[in-house]
Structure 1
Amino acid sequence: MAAAKPSVSVDQYICSLCLEVLKEPVTIPCGHSYCKDCINDCWDQMDTQGGYSCPQCRKTFNVRPELNRNTILAELIENLEEVTAGPSQSYAGIGDVPCDVCPDRKRKASKTCLTCMASYCDTHLQPHLVLPAFKRHKIDKVTEKLEEKLCAKHQKVLEIFCKTDKSCICLLCAATEHKSHDTVTPDVERAGRQSQVENRQAKIKTRIEEKESELEEMKEMVERIQSSAEKEVQNLKETFNSVLEFLERLRSKVTEVITDYKRREVRKADELMERLKKEIEELKTREAELDELSQTEDHIHFLQKFPFLYAPPEGGHSSNSTLNRDFLPETLRKDLSYLKRSLEEIRGWEFVKTTETGGLCFLRCPSQ
């Protein structure tokens, strides 16, 4: 009869200095093995007048032994770690749900017991799978934030959705204060509301497209304002360059008003574009949240977040802005042509400043 193979684990390969599994194991001439860094640190701190000794057997070496990596031992430990801690028994990392039973270093949980309200790795889950006492426990896929699935009043698992009060409740709630209410299971209610989420997503996508189109129109409007203003200023320069020097001040003022108009209109357009960009970002954020909510398989989380995400995002429709292409009244344009023929009459004209409400400047002859 073949002899049983001895049980082997990585715990048998412990460094006597750091008391952890050997890392970069090296073996000194007496046969004892240590972590490379541990034995180096030990000898660095040792009084070497009497030589270098082994921390375990105290055998002394006159010359500090050269440390070479024990390849066979390193590979053996690595293979044992892979066998002992397979994929289902890996340690919990960032974003993983840890086992609630593991005493020290937590392994990654594989299942959650909604009866115990605890998560277990494969090892600590075994009693639930084999012992009759746990037969009626409800085992589900691993779940984060178990407290969100408990009834705040009774500390029981939320298993029912009350359509009357639009809230998730436990069985005890359903049998007491919600006894006469219209109740369904969360998956049934989720199925009914899933289409609402999809409809809301479609509407938000449409609004995003509308806002983006409006933003492009505003950009084009700004370009037209700037282009028109530049052309208008150039036309004024060509007109006023033909008049006498005493009209230079008048030309400067008219140009200043047009420039001020451009600056004011561009500023208003910039403010509107910033508001549109903000609304677009908010809509995209809401779209992403709804997409994430639509994909989740956690019915309770879906129903708890649904009222907040389904509500339409704030933000009204931006007002339409039109480009006033008449930088100067038609009467002024005719008068400017007449100026070339009537220089003496121009001397009596006066400049009227624009009002704070944004009216255009114009010229007029004083009453005789």
Structure 2
Amino acid sequence: MTDSLCLPLLTLTMAEAQLCGLQDEFTCSVCLDTLTDPVSLHCGHNFCLKCLSNYWDQSQVCSCPQCRHTFTTRPELNRNTLLNEVIKKLKKTTLSPPPPQNYAGPGDVECDFCTGKKFRAMKSCLTCMASYCQTHLQPHYERDALKHHKLVDPDRNLKEKLCEKHQKSLELFCKTDDSCICMMCVVTGHNGHKMVELETEREEKQKQLGATLSNIKRRLLKREKTLKEMRRAMEEMKVS
């Protein structure tokens, strides 16, 4: 192969490699697929026109799904023509879909922010009361406003951790009323009550449960011993 042919091929290969390296930049963080009819927000993040429209239609506020930047009025969405052309070229390269093992299967907790086929949640946020896949979880590691949120292993029962009255996260335990409460409950109905953190109460309850189980076990062993003695006495009576 002559040098005149090698140079264009080498340039093409390098360009494809660079585009593939930027594949994540052209992925919609809502559907986790390559952008379709891309639109750009003022915060700099890009989404599929349809994905962002549906996301806002289902939300009470207009905010960026990735960085949570809130807009006072719903912005008019116009397709980013330049980005759309770049994505067309990107699609001509060797694109690979997300690994299938990342999709949620039976028994997995699904990501609350994926549309279409859900990805498996990597963490649940007790502050946001939502579960996130690896992609949608990133803002919690990158944005200062989200870094203080409490992340736990995926939990499918997050709704049970919400206050039924105020729909806020249950953070305290009221010993006076023997109930889990949120911060709004403290202000509205538990003033002057004895309260502790949920974790503190959980540890105390576990200790009490452990003591109760040990007591039950001792009683069972004592009754088994009594039963054996009675059986032995009955056998001796039969022999007599």
TM-score, normalisation: structure 1: 0.37
Gaps of 5+ in 1: 10-79, 229-368
- Tell me: CA distance 1:199–1:119, structure 2 relative to 1, closer, same or farther (3 Å): same
1:85 matches 2:102: no
Match of 1:158 among 170, 175, 182: 170
Match of 2:182 among 157, 160, 170: 170
Report the equivalent of 1:219: 231
Letter in 2 for 1:199: A
- Tell me: CA distance 1:187–1:180, structure 2 relative to 1, closer, same or farther (3 Å): same
1:143 matches 2:155: yes
Deviations 1:108-161 (A, max 9, x none): 211112233211111121233334664564433322311211112111111011
Report the equivalent of 1:21: none
1:126 matches 2:133: no
Separation of aligned partners in 2, 1:131 and 1:141: 20
Report the equivalent of 2:122: 110
Report the equivalent of 2:206: 194
Letter in 2 for 1:163: K
More divergent stretch after superposition (131-140 vs 160-169): 131-140
Separation of aligned partners in 2, 1:147 and 1:226: 63
Separation of aligned partners in 1, 2:233 and 2:102: 60
Ranked by relative contact order (alpha carbons within 8 Å, sequence separation 6 or more), the top structure is 2
Separation of aligned partners in 1, 2:232 and 2:145: 73
Gaps of 5+ in 2: 1-10, 24-95
TM-score, normalisation: structure 2: 0.54
Report the equivalent of 2:61: none
Letter in 2 for 1:85: P
Separation of aligned partners in 2, 1:177 and 1:215: 53
The CA RMSD over aligned residues, in Å, is 3.0
Q: Secondary structure at the match of 2:190?
A: coil
Letter in 1 for 2:211: N
Deviations 1:87-118 (A, max 9, x none): xx633334322212222333221111223321
Count residues with an aligned counterpart.
Answer: 154
- Tell me: CA distance 1:128–1:213, structure 2 relative to 1, closer, same or farther (3 Å): same
